[in-house]
Chains A and B, each alone.
Chain A
Amino acid sequence: MTENLLDARAVRVQFGGLVAVNDVDFNIPTGSIVALIGPNGAGKTTFFNVLTGLYTPSHGQVDFDGKSVLGVAPHKIAASGMARTFQNIRLFGAMTASENVMVAMHPHLKSGVLSTIVRTPKQRREERDARLMAKELLEFVGIAGVDDEFAKNLPYGDQRRLEVARALALRPKLLLLDEPTAGMNPQESATFTQFVHRVRDQRGVTVLLIEHDMKVVMGVSERITVLEYGSKIAEGTPQDIRSDQRVIEAYLGKSGTEAAK
Chain B
Amino acid sequence: MFTSLVERMQPTTDNGRTFARYSGILAVLVVAWLIPNYIATSTEGPLPLFTVVLCAVYALFALGLNIVVGFAGLLDLGYVAFFLFGAYTSAWLMSDFFYQVNPRDPSDKQFSFSVHFLSTASSKIAGIHLSFWIVIIAAAAIAAVAGLVIGAPTLRLKSDYLALVTLGFGEILPEVFRNGDNVAGYNLTNGTKGIGPVDRIGMGFLDKLPGIPSTIVSSDYKTKYYVILLFCALFMYASIKLRDGRLGRAWMAIREDELAASLMGVPLMRTKLWSYAVGAIAGGVGGAFYATIVGTVNVDNFTFSFSIIVLCAVILGGMGNVWGAVLGGVAITWFNYTGLVYIGAQVNKGLGTHINLKNYEFMFFGFVLVLMMLFRPEGFIPAARSKQLKKADKQVQSIETAGVES
Q: Which residues of B are found within 8 Å of A52, using beta-carbon distances?
A: 263
Knowing A92-B257, A103-B253, the reply to whether A79 touches B245 (Cβ < 8 A) is: no
Tell me, in angstroms, the Cα distance from A169 to B263 when the chains sit together. Answer: 12
Q: Is A212 among interface residues, defined by CB-CB distance under 8 A? A: no
Q: Is the CB of B2 within 8 A of A145?
A: yes
Q: Is B264 among interface residues, defined by CB-CB distance under 8 A? A: yes
> How many interface residues does chain B have, given as a range?
35 or more
Q: Is B176 among interface residues, defined by CB-CB distance under 8 A? A: no
Contact of A119 among B6, B241, B247, B256 (CB under 8 A): B241
Q: Which residues of A are found within 8 Å of B268, using beta-carbon distances?
A: 75
Q: Is the CB of A92 within 8 A of B263?
A: no
Q: Which residues of A are found within 8 Å of B249, using beta-carbon distances?
A: 95, 99, 102-103, 106
A137 to chain B, nearest CB (A): 13
Q: Which residues of B are found within 8 Å of A145, using beta-carbon distances?
A: 2-3, 6
Contact of B389 among A73, A86, A119, A150 (CB under 8 A): A150
Contact with A along B236-260 (1 / 0, CB 8 A): 0110011001111110110011011
The A-B contact count (CB < 8 A) is 115
B400 to chain A, nearest CB (A): 12
Among residues of B, the one whose C-beta sits closest to the C-beta of A108 is B265
Q: Is the CB of A99 within 8 A of B252?
A: yes
Q: Is the CB of A170 within 8 A of B264?
A: yes
Q: Which residues of A are found within 8 Å of B385, using beta-carbon distances?
A: 94, 150
Q: Which residues of B are found within 8 Å of A78, using beta-carbon distances?
A: 262-265
Contact of B10 among A113, A127, A148 (CB under 8 A): A148
Q: Is the CB of A106 within 8 A of B260?
A: no
Contact of A92 among B3, B9, B247, B256 (CB under 8 A): B256
* Chain B CB within 10 A, most for which of A119, A126, A148: A148
A9 to chain B, nearest CB (A): 23
Knowing A90-B259, A95-B253, the reply to whether A166 touches B264 (Cβ < 8 A) is: yes
Query: Considering the complex, which residues of chain B in the window 2-39 have a beta carbon less than 8 Å from any beta carbon of chain A?
Result: 2-3, 6, 9-10
Tell me, in angstroms, the Cα distance from A103 to B3 when the chains sit together. Answer: 24
Q: Which residues of A are found within 8 Å of B242, using beta-carbon distances?
A: 113, 116-117
Tell me, in angstroms, the Cα distance from A145 to B2 when the chains sit together. Answer: 9
* Chain B CB within 10 A, most for which of A91, A93, A103: A103
Among residues of B, the one whose C-beta sits closest to the C-beta of A100 is B253
Contact with A along B134-164 (1 / 0, CB 8 A): 0000000000000000000000000000000
Among residues of B, the one whose C-beta sits closest to the C-beta of A86 is B260
Q: Is A109 among interface residues, defined by CB-CB distance under 8 A? A: yes
Q: Which residues of B are found within 8 Å of A75, using beta-carbon distances?
A: 262-268
Q: Is A153 among interface residues, defined by CB-CB distance under 8 A? A: yes
Interface residue SS majority, chain B = helix
Q: Is the CB of A103 within 8 A of B264?
A: yes
A interface size (C-beta, 8 A)? 45
A186 to chain B, nearest CB (A): 18
Q: Is B301 among interface residues, defined by CB-CB distance under 8 A? A: no
Contact of A91 among B6, B238, B260 (CB under 8 A): B260
Tell me, in angstroms, the Cα distance from A123 to B257 when the chains sit together. Answer: 26
Q: Is the CB of B389 within 8 A of A152?
A: yes
Q: Is the CB of A127 within 8 A of B245?
A: yes
Q: Which residues of A are found within 8 Å of B47, using beta-carbon distances?
A: none
Query: Considering the complex, which residues of chain A in the window 84-116 have a beta carbon less than 8 Å from any beta carbon of chain B?
Result: 84, 86, 90-96, 99, 102-104, 106-107, 109, 111, 113, 116
Q: Is the CB of B252 within 8 A of A95?
A: yes
Among residues of B, the one whose C-beta sits closest to the C-beta of A146 is B6
Q: Which residues of B are found within 8 Å of A150, using beta-carbon distances?
A: 385, 388-389, 392
Knowing A95-B252, A119-B241, A145-B6, the reply to whether A109 touches B246 (Cβ < 8 A) is: yes
Among residues of B, the one whose C-beta sits closest to the C-beta of A74 is B262
Knowing A95-B249, A106-B246, the reply to whether A90 touches B260 (Cβ < 8 A) is: yes
Q: Is the CB of A79 within 8 A of B265?
A: yes
Q: Is B368 among interface residues, defined by CB-CB distance under 8 A? A: no
Q: Is the CB of B252 within 8 A of A94?
A: yes
Knowing A95-B252, A113-B278, A166-B264, the reply to whether A147 touches B6 (Cβ < 8 A) is: yes
Q: Which residues of B are found within 8 Å of A96, using beta-carbon distances?
A: 9
Tell me, in angstroms, the Cα distance from A148 to B396 when the chains sit together. Answer: 17
Q: Is B115 among interface residues, defined by CB-CB distance under 8 A? A: no
Q: Is the CB of A117 within 8 A of B238?
A: yes
Q: Is the CB of B6 within 8 A of A149?
A: yes
* Chain A CB within 10 A, most for which of B265, B268, B274: B265
Knowing A94-B256, A116-B242, A153-B396, the reply to whether A103 touches B274 (Cβ < 8 A) is: no
Tell me, in angstroms, the Cα distance from A145 to B396 when the chains sit together. Answer: 19
Knowing A103-B264, A116-B242, A123-B245, the reply to whether A93 touches B256 (Cβ < 8 A) is: yes
Q: Is B386 among interface residues, defined by CB-CB distance under 8 A? A: yes
Q: Is B261 among interface residues, defined by CB-CB distance under 8 A? A: yes
Tell me, in angstroms, the Cα distance from A33 to B291 when the chains sit together. Answer: 64
B41 to chain A, nearest CB (A): 34
Contact of A74 among B3, B238, B263, B396 (CB under 8 A): B263
Closest 5 CB pairs of A and B: A116-B245, A92-B256, A78-B265, A107-B265, A104-B264
User: What are 16 of the A-B contact pairs (CB < 8 Å)?
Assistant: A75-B268, A90-B260, A92-B253, A99-B252, A106-B250, A106-B266, A111-B247, A113-B274, A113-B278, A126-B246, A147-B6, A148-B6, A148-B10, A153-B392, A170-B264, A170-B265
Given A52-B263, A74-B262, A75-B262, 15 additional A-B pairs, CB 8 A: A74-B263, A75-B268, A95-B253, A103-B266, A104-B264, A106-B264, A111-B246, A145-B3, A148-B6, A149-B9, A150-B385, A150-B388, A150-B389, A150-B392, A170-B265
